[in-house]
Amino acid sequence: MKKDLIGIKDLNSKEVEELLELTSELKNDPAKFDRTLKGKSLALIFEKPSNRTYVSFQVGMYELGGNSIYLGPEHIKLGVRESIPDIARTLSRYVDGIVFRTFAQKSLLEMAKYSKVPVINGLSDLTHPCQGLADIYTIKEKFGKFKGLILVYIGDGNNVCHSLLYAASKVGLNLNIATPKGYAPDPAIVEETKKIGNKTGCRIKLFLNPQEAVKGADVIYTDVWASMGQETEAKKREKAFKDFQVNNGLVKKAFKNALIMHCLPAHRGLEITSEIMDSLNSIVFDQAENRMHVQKAILIKLLAPEANGNED
Ligand code: CP
Ligand code: NVA
């Protein structure tokens, strides 16, 4: 693997497969790895709020025998008190890895450029790779395969959607994406992932009609209509996305047993109804749990690439 995990784009299909295999090992036998990162420290720099990413990295690092340090906006005052290059240079002297949740992709790339230790994207406006990897791990866990399945993403062509495009294309999982007009994913990412998909057997289709998109769905996935940083657009977006709610009517158009996914946090009653989120087919909390197992695998691959369990 490369030094940093900026996006799933950086991983080839074999590396994705190896990460998912290590994730299974970690999930099934956590004790085998409980000292693997002993003596190592991880900085968690967050410019946006978080529950899953923050807690799962912290607990994950602890379960690997390592230590983590949370640096929220109030601690580090990124770009105000100190520049990103100077933060990266300093932290590289103390810690063995940096998880960075930020707005601009440029900030993430700058952190990675000046950091001597691995930088992991904990969500940017462009992508959310840890989420995408946990999502495909969860799909593999439920179905035992990717080939022939259809994942249907309904909603905003945002960071999560972009990471699903990369993840699905790398493993040969078919992906339908339904967005309102003007909210489609980045066309360059769609083109790029379609090309990757041609080699792996992943067919990517874009729709403007969610009813059409969910036909034959094995999994239906949604995310918030207004992401962090888009709060002022919330009302406008509620109008634009009103026909894109994942509700009983829409789910009925998919395969009877289609599973329901959401990266969380969910806005019940907007992008998803409580009825669907709490239904028997909903796997949203399995998905949330798997964030931690996948991230432990990422941490081992980047911070102790030679390790095959505890070293002592
Ligand atoms: N899904 C996700 O990244 O959740 P948090 O924003 O709570 O970390
Ligand atoms: N698209 C959402 C994902 C949250 C995990 C956001 O960026 O806010």
Please indicate, yes or no, whether residues 171 and 53 belong to a single structural domain of this protein: no
Does 135 qualify as catalytic in the annotation? Answer: no
C-alpha distances out from residue 98 to 7, 24, 124, 129, 138, Å = 14, 24, 14, 15, 25
- Asked whether residue 311 carries a pLDDT value surpassing 70, the answer given is no
Does 105 qualify as catalytic in the annotation? Answer: no
Q: d(Cα 90, Cα 116) in Å, to the nearest integer? A: 10
- Asked whether residue 308 carries a pLDDT value surpassing 80, the answer given is no
* Residue closest to 260 by CA, chosen among 279, 241, 274: 279
Cβ atoms of residues 61 and 67 within 8 Å: yes
pLDDT computed for residue 312 by the predictor: 63
pTM across the whole model: 0.97
Please indicate, yes or no, whether residues 280 and 302 belong to a single structural domain of this protein: no
Structural domain includes residue 227: yes
How do residues 288-307 score in pLDDT, each as one tens digit?
A: 999 999 999 999 999 998 88
What's the CATH code of the domain at 91?
3.40.50.1370
Please indicate, yes or no, whether residues 147 and 263 belong to a single structural domain of this protein: yes
Structural domain includes residue 176: yes
pLDDT computed for residue 256 by the predictor: 83
Does 291 qualify as catalytic in the annotation? Answer: yes
- Asked whether residue 262 carries a pLDDT value surpassing 80, the answer given is yes
Structural domain includes residue 98: yes
Domain that holds residue 90: 8-127+291-307
Which residues' Cβ are closer than 6 Å to ligand 2?
A: 123, 158-160, 223-224, 227-228, 263
Averaged pLDDT score across all residues of the chain? 97
How do residues 144-162 score in pLDDT, each as one tens digit?
A: 999 999 999 999 999 999 9
How do residues 59-115 score in pLDDT, each as one tens digit?
A: 999 999 999 999 999 898 888 999 999 999 999 999 999 999 999 999 999 999 999
Please indicate, yes or no, whether residues 48 and 170 belong to a single structural domain of this protein: no
Q: d(Cα 196, Cα 169) in Å, to the nearest integer? A: 6
Please indicate, yes or no, whether residues 105 and 80 belong to a single structural domain of this protein: yes
Give the count of domains, the chain. 2
- Residue whose CA is at the smallest distance from ligand 1 atom 7: 51
Please indicate, yes or no, whether residues 41 and 117 belong to a single structural domain of this protein: yes
Q: d(Cα 88, Cα 84) in Å, to the nearest integer? A: 6
